[in-house]
């Protein structure tokens, strides 16, 4: 795959969900540093505005919107704001997600799948599966107006059925039913919509950014957000020869 990590993004408009902290913050910062106009979406607008202030201080272009991805009203307002300000959307990073099964990504779920709580399953699927689907559907007309729209669904290796069923895989013992199955479902959505859009210039892929040192990933994780963000952005800036409908970690195609 072509390395696109240094190409200018001048004139591109990007939306990053969950963009006020962790991986989303780093993705937004790197996109802005490369010239993109970045719309920071966060549940708390004040936190998004703080990020925007920091980017403006560096001479970078960005704006903030309140975007709880599980809120239909927030999703509608996001569409209206981007449409009014830009009339298009070049890059959509579906990054916002929750992990409710366990304290962090390196800790096995205290409840086995047979005892997973319905409330945890429903809340997880609302944020990790339904929200990115509904947001992507809503914003697709804006993405279609871009020259070559790119959508990246931030998934996880824990959404790989191959890894979940492999006793030698490092994710095998975690057994976080809500998180793991929500990411597997997100992967399925990625395949289906990518095939629908294959005859268009739009490319959509799922990526595993790595086990990252964030609140979600935990302190024992083996990668920083900088590397995870660079990998994500590489799939957000693919040229016309790049893949679509795939599942990747860095340059490695992961098994479904």
Would you name the residues annotated as active-site residues? Answer: 179
Please give the Cα distance from 26 to 6 (Å, whole number).
16
Q: Reduced to 3 DSSP states, what percent helix, strand and coil does the chain have, rounded to the nearest 5?
A: 45, 15, 45
Ranges of beta strands (E only) in the chain are 13-17, 37-42, 62-66, 91-94, 150-154, 203-207, 247-249, 252-253
- The conformation of residue 147, written as its DSSP 8-state character, comes to S
Nearest in space to 97 (alpha carbons), one of 178, 194, 13, 205: 178
Q: Are 62 and 32 in contact (CB under 8 A)?
A: yes
Q: Phi and psi (nearest 5°) for 223?
A: -135, 150
Residues whose CB falls within 8 Å of the CB of residue 34, separated by 6 or more in sequence, listed in order: 6, 7, 8, 9, 233
Residues in the chain: 256
CB atoms < 10 A from the CB of 254, how many?
A: 20
């Amino acid at each position: 795959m072509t390395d696109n990590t240094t190409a200018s993004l001048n004139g591109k408009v990007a939306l990053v969900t969950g963009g006020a902290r962790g991986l989303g913050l780093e993705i937004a910062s790197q996109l802005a540093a490369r010239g993109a106009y970045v719309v920071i979406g966060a549940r708390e607008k004040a936190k998004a505005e703080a990020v925007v202030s920091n980017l403006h201080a560096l001479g970078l272009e960005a704006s903030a919107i309140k975007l709880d991805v599980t809120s239909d009203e927030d999703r509608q307002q996001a569409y209206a704001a981007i449409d009014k300000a830009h009339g298009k959307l070049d890059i959509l990073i579906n990054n916002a997600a929750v992990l409710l099964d366990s304290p962090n990504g390196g800790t096995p779920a205290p409840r086995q799948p047979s005892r997973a709580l319905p409330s945890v399953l429903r809340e997880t699927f609302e944020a990790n599966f339904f929200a990115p689907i509904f947001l992507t559907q809503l914003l697709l007309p804006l993405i279609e107006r871009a020259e070559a729209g790119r959508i990246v669904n931030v998934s996880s290796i824990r959404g790989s059925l191959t890894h979940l069923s492999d006793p030698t895989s490092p994710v095998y013992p975690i057994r976080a039913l809500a998180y793991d199955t929500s990411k597997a479902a997100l992967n399925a959505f990625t395949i289906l919509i990518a095939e629908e859009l294959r005859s268009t210039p739009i490319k959509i892929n799922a990526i595993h950014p790595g086990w990252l040192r964030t609140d979600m990933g935990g302190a024992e994780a083996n990668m920083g957000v900088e590397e995870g963000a660079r990998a994500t952005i590489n799939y957000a800036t693919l040229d016309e020869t790049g893949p679509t409908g795939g599942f990747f970690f860095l340059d490695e195609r992961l098994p479904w």
